[in-house]
Each structure stands twice: as C-alpha cells, then as structure tokens.
Structure 1
Amino acid sequence: MTSDLKGSQSPHALIQSVIISYGDGHCDAPRGDALRVDTRPLRNPPEDPAVRARMLHANGLDPEVRAYVRNSPGAERLIERSARRALALLAQASDGRRVDLHVVCGGGRHRSVAVAEDLADLLRAAGYGVETEHLHIDRPILP
C-alpha cells in the first residue's frame, strides 16, 4: 500500500528546494552547494530613519518589512533573476537532486528573510516543493 500512495503523489509535492536565509555578520554561513543570493545591496529597514522604529523589532516575515524590501531599488530584478536561475536548475534536476538557495544579508533578519520568502513563493507557484529556513531571524540586530 505504501508504494501505491507514493506512486500517486505528484513529484512536485516533495521538497525539491531548501531556501536558507542568514546573516553574514554571524560568521556561521550554511554549508553545501547552493545558488547564493546576495541581498546586501538592497535597502535595510533598520538603517532607514523613516521606518527604523517600526521595523527594528520586526523581521522579513512581517508583510510591511517584505513590502519595504521588495520595493527597494533592484529588488525585483534580483528576485526575478534568482528565481529564473533556480527554476532552470530545478528543470535540469530530474534525478531527484535538490536545488538549494542561500540568501544572505548583513544580520539575517530583514532583507534575506523577505527575499527568501518571495523566492519560495515563486518556486511554489511554479509547482515545486520548497522549504524555507531562517538561521538568524531571532538573533539581535547587529551594530
């Protein structure tokens, strides 16, 4: 019976990509082969006096933070380019290999988390099973 259930599942229901967000300031980057996405050129909410008070204790899972990061100059292009690259790799990974993405920013709480979630949404919309992990989302803001 197990083989029948397994055979009836869509191959896209399986985890085909793991997206890990992290902050390079914590000096414990994830290891392994992965498509690396650098979000450090994007605006950082805690550095913007206009939104700092509201977003300092929030993170990239917060809709306001996600919108702020997404509206940063260059964010749309970065996300689209990264998603295209990931989708191309996933299309070639027909042998069951995972395609992982490591999304980096300075502290791992805002930009990397928001972009990782946007990428996960795009890959899921394309029919792929995606898991996200946010290594430093609960760490303090770095100076």
Structure 2
Amino acid sequence: MIRLVSFGRKHPQPERRPDRIVDCRSLPNPHREPRLRPLTGLDSAVQTYVARSRGFTRIAEHVVATVTDGDEVAFACYGGRHRSVAVAELVADRLRGKGFDVAVEHLDLGC
C-alpha cells in the first residue's frame, strides 16, 4: 500500500515522517479565486483548476514514476485545504489506475 498525506505548512508537520514531502506551493492557489475559496481540494472544480496549472503534470508524473509499494508521500501547501489535497487525490487516482492500493489522509482539511 502507498500512503499519501496532505497538510498545510502553517500547521505542525505530520507526526509520522513520510518518505518524501512534495511542496505544492509553486502551483497557483485556488484560495485566491473567489469562487474556489470556500471549496476544498476534494471538490472537482478545485481539482480541475490544480490539474490545469503549470507544474502539476511534472509533480504528478514524478511521484507516480518514483513511488513504490510501502512508500508514504506527503503533499504540502500553505493551508492544507486546496492544492495539497487536490494533488494528493489526483495522484492517488493515477496510482490506482496503475493497480496500486492507495490510502489518502488529509491532515488539515478542516482547519
């Protein structure tokens, strides 16, 4: 099983140390879009916005190409509600499409 975790940098880092942390702050922030601000990375509108942004494909393809069974990858953005959540969910979908068993946890989604 591969474990994907999202969190916000303004909150304490995950207690468990992931194998790697992917910084999603370089992606455009949906929080700055009034129609997306009240949503989260679980919403399709935010996922579409993030997936279309420059840099997303590079991040997703790199994780999918380098992750192995048993790995834990954490995705970080500033608040932990939009970018990191969307990227974790989108990468999880890609990994499941390749036959991996994936668990996703969002640490700061409700903050």
Deviating beyond 2 angstroms after TM superposition, the runs of 4 or more aligned structure 1 residues are 27-31
State the AA in 1 paired with 2:44.
P
1:44-95 superposed Cα distances (whole Å, 9 cap, x missing partner): 0112xxxx22111100010000010111111111111111111xx33xxxxx
- Aligned residue in 1 for 2:77: 105
Residues 30 and 37 (structure 1), Cα distance of their counterparts in 2 relative to 1, 3 Å cut: farther
State the Cα RMSD in Å: 1.2
| TM-score, normalisation: structure 1 | 0.73
Pick aligned residue for 2:48 from 48, 67, 85? 67
Deviation at 1:35, TM superposition (A): 2.4
Asked whether the 8 Å contact 1:23–1:29 carries over to 2, the reply is no
Matches within 5 A, 1:56-135: 56-86=37-67, 89-90=68-69, 98-135=70-107
2:105 alignment partner, SS class: strand
Whole-angstrom CA distance in 2 between matches of 1:116 and 1:73:
16
1:108 alignment partner, SS class: coil
Deviation at 1:30, TM superposition (A): 4.0
Q: Which 5+ residue runs of structure 1 have no aligned equivalent?
A: 1-15, 91-97
Whole-angstrom CA distance in 1 between matches of 2:21 and 2:11:
17
1:122 alignment partner, SS class: helix
- The answer to which structure has the higher helix fraction is 1
| TM-score, normalisation: structure 2 | 0.93
Asked whether the 8 Å contact 1:30–1:102 carries over to 2, the reply is no
